[in-house]
Amino acid sequence: MLIKSKQKLANLITDLNKIIKKEKDELFRLNKKITLDTAYWIAEDYDTMKSYLKDYIKNLPALDTIDKIKPKGKILIILSYNEPFILSIIPVLNALIIGNEVILKPSQGAEDFAKIIWQKSGLAKKYGLKLQIISPETHKETEGLIREVRAVYFFGSFKVAQRLAKICGKCYAEFYPEIETADVKIFNKNLPDVKKDVLLTLRESLTHSGQSCQRIQGIFVHKNLYNDYIKVLKQKFISLCNSKDLYKFIDDQYILARKNLLDLLHADIEKSEPAEVVEVRTLPLLIIKPETESDLVKNAYFLPVLWTLPFESEERLIKILNSRKFFLGINIQSDNENFIKYIINNTRFTRYTVNSSHINIRPQEGWGGSWPSGFSGYRSWIEHFSDGCIIIDES
């Protein structure tokens, strides 16, 4: 059902806000169970979602695009386990209000989270929204769903995206992936900027331990600044690991639940032959100068681990960047415009953040893949779930 009424859309958003407020305790409990995120960041996501919905009412995005778009029809949205507040609301809301019939496949264990918001609340029924929340048990069942839909919107890992893309190709279904992988930072500024950037890098690296695509997992520092940078980075890293602030980012439950992944990480660290491993606790880890071609640098880990490498020339840096399939975006810190342009012009990534931080820009800019992600604009989301058209009025 296409929601054309300004008041009806405002009422829907108001009700949605009331539901997450009323069910806050249960949603927090389920979020912790699904993601193992700390209470601090679950609360941050909740507050961010409340703010998003408040701004949504102010913008009422459907109204200024309603004559230029058509719903795609029947679509499948596949969600990853991380960010349940954001993923269970933002893409689903925008897909539904323009009239799509949505089949929603949350990650295993996250079905109840989405059902509380959309079904148990009665919200979908009240506003005539076509939404089915499913939990297929086999890959074959998922493939069957793909054969029924016009388009598939996917949040998840690189490997699963590859498999689904092949299925969509066979079924002639459109495929829109938001791939979870790792971001990299390049620091090429002056010495006075080192301390500030180190603090931002640690925050960006550790925020949301369970979500790799938003985090900085590796950092390249110009060789002339590398020793100074590492000195400050080690000092601040050790200080954080010994402070209570660490529990904003990671807790013991997360570490215990990720034992298998930790074992793989440690094996890859050893093979990478780093110059040094800074380990105050089990997690997080700081890896200094691993081998450039190692699996540690190539892979994306759903763990708070940060590696650092020096770079000498722009040409060598470009070669390394272009050989890494798991880099999603690049955060470039530099006052040299020519350097910035050179990096951007000679690499192909879906996001370039220049002289800013992912943390600071998050309310305006989202994360992930080729998507116009969660906070990059309401219109872009609606257009993403629709077909553009031109209406010619000759009257």
pLDDT tens for 21-57 read 999 999 999 999 998 888 888 998 899 889 888 878 7
The separation between the first and the last C-alpha atoms of the chain, rounded to the nearest angstrom, is: 29
pLDDT tier at 61, thresholds 50, 70, 90: low
Q: Determine the longest span between alpha carbons in the chain, in angstroms.
A: 74
Does 121 share its domain with 131? yes
pTM assigned to the model: 0.84
Per-residue pLDDT, 362: 47
Pick from 23-32, 232-241, 289-298: least confident: 289-298
At 165-213, the pLDDT tens digits run 999 999 999 998 877 666 789 999 999 999 999 998 998 888 755 444 5
Query: Which residue has better confidence, 43 or 1?
Result: 43
- Poorest-pLDDT segment among 10-24, 97-111, 374-388: 374-388
**pLDDT at position 41:** 85
Q: In this structure, is residue 335 part of a structural domain?
A: yes
Domain shared by 158 and 228, yes or no: no
pLDDT at 313: 94
Distance CA 240, CA 80 (A): 29
DSSP 9-54: HHHHHHHHHHHHHHTHHHHHHHHHHHH---HHHHHHHHHHHHHHHH
- Residue 383 DSSP label: H
- Domain identity same for 157 and 21: yes
The residues near 267 (Cβ < 8 Å, ≥ 6 apart) are none
Q: Are residues 355 and 374 in the same domain?
A: no
Say which CATH number the domain at 77 has: 3.40.605.10
Residues 235, 194: contact at Cβ < 8 Å?
Answer: no
Structure tokens at 210: 């369970």
Return the DSSP state at 120.
Answer: I
Residue 366 has pLDDT above 60, yes or no: no
Co-location of 287 and 200 in the same domain: yes
8 A C-beta contact, residue 139 and residue 164: no
**Full DSSP string of 153-212:** EEEEEHHHHHHHHHHHHHHT-EEEEEEE-EEEEEEE--GGGHHHHHHHHHHHHHSSTT-S
Domain membership of residue 145 (yes or no) is yes
- Residues 156, 215, single domain; the answer is no
Q: Which residues pair with 261 in a beta bridge?
A: none
Residue 393: inside a domain: no
Element (H, E) at 230: helix 223-241
Q: Note whether residue 1 is domain-resident.
A: no
* Of residues 326, 373, 352, the one with CA closest to residue 217: 326
- Give the range of the structural domain holding residue 341, as residue numbers without chain letter: 182-361
Residue 250 has pLDDT above 80, yes or no: yes
Give tens-digit pLDDT for 355-364: 876 555 444 4
> Same domain for 166 and 56?
yes
Q: What is the CATH number of the domain that holds 276?
A: 3.40.309.10
- Asked whether residue 41 is assigned to any structural domain, the reply reads yes
In a domain, 148, yes or no: yes
Q: What is the spatial distance between Cα 296 and Cα 5, in angstroms, rounded to a whole number?
A: 52
Compute how many other C-beta atoms are within 10 angstroms of the C-beta atom of residue 234: 16
- When divided into structural domains, the chain yields a total of 2
Is residue 114 predicted with pLDDT exceeding 80?
yes
Q: Are residues 215 and 150 in the same domain?
A: no
Q: Is 189 in the same domain as 175?
A: no
**Same domain, residue pair 60 and 186:** no
Q: What pLDDT score does 379 carry?
A: 47
Length of the chain equals 395
Average pLDDT of the segment spanning 226-230: 97
Q: What is the mean pLDDT of the chain?
A: 85
* Torsion from C-alpha of 232, 238, 242, 243, nearest 10 degrees: 30
Q: How does residue 5 score in pLDDT terms, banded at 50, 70 and 90?
A: confident
Based on the fold, state whether residues 208 and 305 are members of the same structural domain: yes
Q: Establish if 321 belongs to a structural domain.
A: yes
Instruction: Please choose, from the candidates 393, 389, 392, 390, the residue with its C-alpha nearest in 3D space to the C-alpha of residue 71.
Output: 389
* Total Cβ atoms within 10 A of residue 53: 17
Predicted pLDDT at 307: 96
- Pair (271, 375) in one structural domain: no
Q: Is 395 domain-assigned?
A: no
